[in-house]
Chains A and B, each alone.
Chain A
Amino acid sequence: MKIIINHSSMQPIYEQIAGQMKAQILKGELLEDTALPSVRMLAKEQRVSALTVKKAYDTLEAEGFITTVHGKGSFVARTNQQMRLEERRKEVENAFELAIQKGKSCGMSREELLDVFQMILEEM
């Protein structure tokens, strides 16, 4: 498992860890049932606090990407096709949200935004 943390990024470190692990699970680089390093172990490797890693694991667990067996550690959960699709959808939604925010911040109206959307959709 390879994780690269950017300490000057505006994204919180636990989100960076969770995000990169999630991407590796979705891409199939981290296979189902793979044992993940313990919280302290990953904290040591990444030189971040253990609570940060714990938060990342908790996030992944809440989203169903990993399971934690008490006393045994954390494992990659079975990701079904449904989950992958949903994840993709969420990414698309986020991209739209970002574009709309940008448009609004420079004063574009709802109609103008829709026009741009239609135009791009037809060009493709």
Chain B
Amino acid sequence: MLKLTNVKKTYKDFELDCSMEVRPGMITGVVGKNGAGKTTTLKAILGLIRLDGGEAKVLGKPVEEMGKAERAQLGIVLADSGFSGYLTIRDLLPMLERMYPKFERDVFLGRCRQFHLPEDKKIKEFSTGMRQKLHVLFALSHDARLLLLDEPTAGMDVLARDEILDMFREYMEEKEGRAMLISSHIAGDLENLCDDIYMIDGGRVIFHEETDVLLGDYALLKMTQEQYQKIDKSHVLRFRKENYGYSCLTDQKAFYLDNYPDVTVENNGIDTLITMMIRGERI
């Protein structure tokens, strides 16, 4: 579906060197702090920037060779792009129909009504959340095989986010072989949606794991100074000094649950993972 092999892009103060893969039927997530390289990666996939090295293959073709037919099979939400604010949803329809042969007009308009997006109001008068919803609804409206979504739920309230996430799940279930690459800084979104997760920092992938393993086998251990001295640290990935002693990130939850019943073991969310991977120290 999508494969990046050592994709490189150098800016004055930033260097991207990224390898990742999205397989058919999979929802893959990308997390990282601001400026980690998430958007640059997506731009590389779309051919919006020229690569300085490596290879990016989308739908089996190198990015440089992507034509109209391939692009029509991509559903996209980008953070800083959208429709002209002077148009209304109704104005957009003829354009969308010409650009995307499989555009499902009725489905799209039905969903716009469901999300209370007025058809004849200028888009510049939409709130941030409304505009974001419009972009997502459109990405889902033309039978795209690969969805590339940069912060698709940014600016939405909890309820709208929930509805949109369910819509993503439905989209995946509707037809086999669809795939999705989604970046978000709202960890909860990714935890219950993605099949696997990449973490990017400083332009590099520093972590890749199946979400299931992440939630099942990773944990945060909390312990006192004395416990920390004695504990077997062979499965500690990162540690941090805390006022009560130490917190440690492990990928072998069961080992510590079995052998150290006195140590506090906390289920690990993506948020803790990001903090520990980036701020924590290696043993």
Contact = CB atoms under 8 A, between A and B. Distances in A.
Interface of A: 7-8, 10, 12-15, 38, 40-41, 43-44, 47-52, 55, 105
B170 interface: yes
22 contacts: A8-B267, A12-B215, A12-B217, A40-B25, A43-B169, A44-B169, A44-B170, A44-B172, A47-B192, A49-B27, A49-B192, A49-B193, A49-B194, A49-B195, A49-B210, A50-B25, A50-B26, A50-B195, A51-B195, A51-B196, A51-B212, A105-B261
B232 interface: no
Secondary structure type dominating chain A contacts: helix
B125 interface: no
Interface in B229-283: 253, 257, 261, 265, 267
Nearest to A5: B192
B166 interface: yes
List of 9 A-B pairs having minimum Cβ-Cβ separation, nearest first: A12-B216, A44-B169, A40-B173, A51-B195, A52-B212, A49-B195, A49-B211, A47-B192, A44-B173
A13 B215 contact: yes
B51 to A, nearest CB: 30
A71 to B, nearest CB: 11
Contacts of B26: 50-51
A59 to B, nearest CB: 12
B169 A10 contact: no
Interface in B5-53: 25-27
A43 to B, nearest CB: 7
Give the residue among B166, B216, B257 with the most A Cβ atoms within 10 A: B216
Contact of A10 (B170, B194, B210, B253): B253
Given A44-B170, A47-B166, A47-B169, 4 more contacts: A10-B267, A12-B212, A49-B27, A50-B27
Given A10-B265, A13-B212, A13-B216, A48 B192 contact: yes
A109 to B, nearest CB: 20
B27 A14 contact: no
A7 B269 CA distance: 10
Give the residue among A14, A43, A55 with the most B Cβ atoms within 10 A: A43
A47 B27 CA distance: 13
A105 B259 CA distance: 10
Contact of A52 (B211, B257, B267): B211
Contacts of A105: 261
A44 B217 CA distance: 22
A13 B267 CA distance: 12
Nearest to B211: A49
B202 to A, nearest CB: 27
A78 to B, nearest CB: 28
Contacts of A49: 27, 192-195, 210-212
Nearest to A41: B173
Nearest to A43: B169
Contacts of B210: 49, 51
A38 B194 contact: no
Contacts of A7: 215, 267
Interface string B189-223: 00011111000000000000011100111000000
Contacts of B27: 49-50
A42 to B, nearest CB: 10
A12 B218 CA distance: 10
B257 A38 contact: no
Contacts of A40: 25, 169, 172-173
A10 B25 CA distance: 28
Nearest to B162: A47
B235 to A, nearest CB: 16
Nearest to B166: A44
